[in-house]
Amino acid sequence: MIRQYELIDKILKYNEKADIALINRAYVYSMKAHGNQKRASGEPYLTHPLEVASILADLQMDEATVCTGLLHDTLEDTLTTYDELKEIFSEEIADLTEGVTKLSRINFNNKSVEQAENFRKLFMAMTKDIRVLLVKLSDRLHNMRTIDHMKKETSKLRVAKETIDIFAPLADRIGLYAVKVELEDLAFRTLNRDEYDKIEERKTFLRQQDDLISRVESELQSELEEHKIEARVSGREKTIYSIYNKMVKKNLTFDQLTDIVAYRIILDDKAKCYEVLGLIHNLYKAIPGRFKDYISNAKPNGYQSLHTSVIGPYGQRIEIQIRTQEMHDVSEYGVAAHWLYKQSSGNINPSSYRWVKELKEILQTTEDPEEFLENTKMDLFSDEVFVFTPKGDLITLPYGATPLDFAYNVHSDVGNKTHSAKINGRIVPLKTRLNNGDQVEIVTRKGQVPNPGWREMVTTAKARSAINRYLRAQELDAQIKLGREILEKAMRRDGYSWVEKDLQKVADAQKLQGIDDVFAGIAQGRLFPRQVVAVLFPEVAEAKEREERAKADTPATTSTGGAAQRLSQMDDENAIGIDGLVSGLAVQIAGCCTPLPGEPIVGIINTGKGVNIHAKNCKNLEQFAEDPDRWLPVKWREKDPEGGKGKAFVARMRLTLTHAPGVLSSVTTAIFNVEGNIVDLHIESRGTDSYDMRCDVEVQDLDHFNRMLTALRNLKCIINVERLQG
């Protein structure tokens, strides 16, 4: 148990100017108010508010919040009134204490009007001052630390379940990682003690048998010191609950896990984070697809760090996180860390948190407290969204759903005829994501029909199935027309005389239903004109085959260097903006040349796989020179000037850089300034004065990529930069 003077010492360490008299007054008041009350453990009740205040001090909270920790149970468990707290302390402390009291009174299994109204009032207070939530989380954390003293097993399980379902996700929402993981582990220990003990036993055994963590720490620290980089390296084992979750989700045993430890490198400067990242990738083999830049693209709760996974110094796969001390504090303490770095008066503006904004919107549009309770709980703790029809009916949709999902949920005819949508009375784009509590109105129009781009705007299987069903019916005529044109062109070029009814022989040979299926198969790349010739004119086809065999001893083959394996599968031509294709064809961007919007392209029909899109200057096109039937004239669609950012395309470049401090930081900053995004980078070679680095970036089009190249070439540290294709 912490003592009063120890609490004061803890506060003075981070706030020398703290109002100690105010905190002592709150301590004395709490002691008198709770009197002889006891906890389930038999200890004086005062031990609980003292421990809660201590947790808040660990988070380096202001005096008002620490005082609230000392007083948080007085309104509920003693004769204290709100007016009394306001008079003795302040309106601020009285409001905070009342907010915590309202949350403490809520039974999350009880949806009565009274409880729902309490929950609604609590969040109205919380959107004004998020410290209410910080005090309640500290209160729950200490209760979980002492949960073994609860006598009823059913009560323990209820509290633990409530903690893992509600309070741990709340802590995660505001970035309180340290609180979140402790709540999860304590709750898991109560809910599944056998599994908890097994994992803890295995972790203890490995810790005693293997000093891998200290060895990896030492090697990383030595490498950094050798490059004259000041940093702090540490390894941290994953929590028991996170290990259990991974074992369950991936169906693994404990011994099959390879990343139970994450290593952190803490630096004093953001630019050095990128420099160290380059050093790590040069020292160890990076695992593809395991690099995340949360510095340039911070998480909604403010989390920032660089994440990469490599094959470490002892041949084991390890995860490394690179961040500054400030980023580390935010990752551990989330919103509470702002008191330390912003030196504020103790008030954090919660409006910067998206989920708090959404709660405000629900507060403004929802009158029924029961309705608010249900929707707010779902907003915080579920992957679903709950929205309303204009008549007030509630509809449940998956997270990420749009007005089109809503329309198709009502009826497929409503979805097919959707012209526009209104959310809360305002017209919005059909691709707008719905939030909890939204009221959605669909505007239909006669003659409106779905288009292929709608498939990119929906998340529900019901909506996507209805759109595909309609488009397939509409696309068949277009495919038949294109297939007929392709076949007529080929037959005319080679001088064949034919009549359409003869194609039934081709349909029978290919086990198709009719002539239209033959045309559609040609348009889709499943059939080729030469296969039609082989059926209609077998003698000619055999003669031509003998002639071709005579020209060469062996069939000519051309290697694409594994380019086919690097093809990036796209959804359809509308998703990537290409004109000249028939809707419904699978479209692939060729990895050998990775064409970008704005440069000339050509489509190559790939049997059974749709169409591959190549740059017109791609060297691999030579292998199709004698097969003109497979070529399709295509072009990039004109960009909509008001369409915002389109789909991102990956371009690869090689940079030759000088050896100098801060080089990598300059490169990443230049890319960031032109709105590019690094998806992968790798040091290819290193010389005495320079080194080569391969970098994959996401860009919008060729013009965007060229602007990026120009920005990089203007850097003094860049010797050369070029685009890589193939």
Rounded to whole angstroms, how far apart are CA atoms 349 and 331? 18
557 CB burial (10 A radius; 0-12, 13-18, 19+) = exposed
Task: Clarify whether 6 is annotated catalytic.
Answer: no
Inter-CA distances, 431 with 270, 401, 402, 434, Å: 36, 9, 6, 9
Task: Clarify whether 77 is annotated catalytic.
Answer: yes
Rounded to whole angstroms, how far apart are CA atoms 197 and 648? 47
Catalytic residue among 19, 76, 200, 237: 76
- Three-state secondary structure along 619-673? HHHHHHCCCHHHEECCEECCCCCCCCCCCCEEEEEEEEEECCCCHHHHHHHHHHH
Catalytic residue among 19, 58, 77, 698: 77
Partners of residue 323 on adjacent β-strands? 266
Rounded to whole angstroms, how far apart are CA atoms 171 and 381? 11
Question: Pick from 118, 99, 123, 241: which is nearest to 173 by CA?
Answer: 123
Rounded to whole angstroms, how far apart are CA atoms 343 and 348? 11
Cα 645 → chain centroid? 18
Q: Which ranges constitute the DSSP H helices of 105-176?
A: 113-128, 131-145, 153-162, 168-173
Instruction: Provide CB contacts within 8 A for 326, sequence distance 6+.
Output: 337, 341
Tell me, what amino acid is at 225? E
Inter-CA distances, 149 with 43, 118, 146, 540, Å: 11, 28, 6, 92
- Three-state secondary structure along 488-503? HHHHHHHCCCCCHHHH
Would you call 694 helix, strand, or coil by DSSP?
strand
Strands 317-324 and 384-388: unpaired
Would you call 558 helix, strand, or coil by DSSP?
coil
Catalytic residues: 76-77
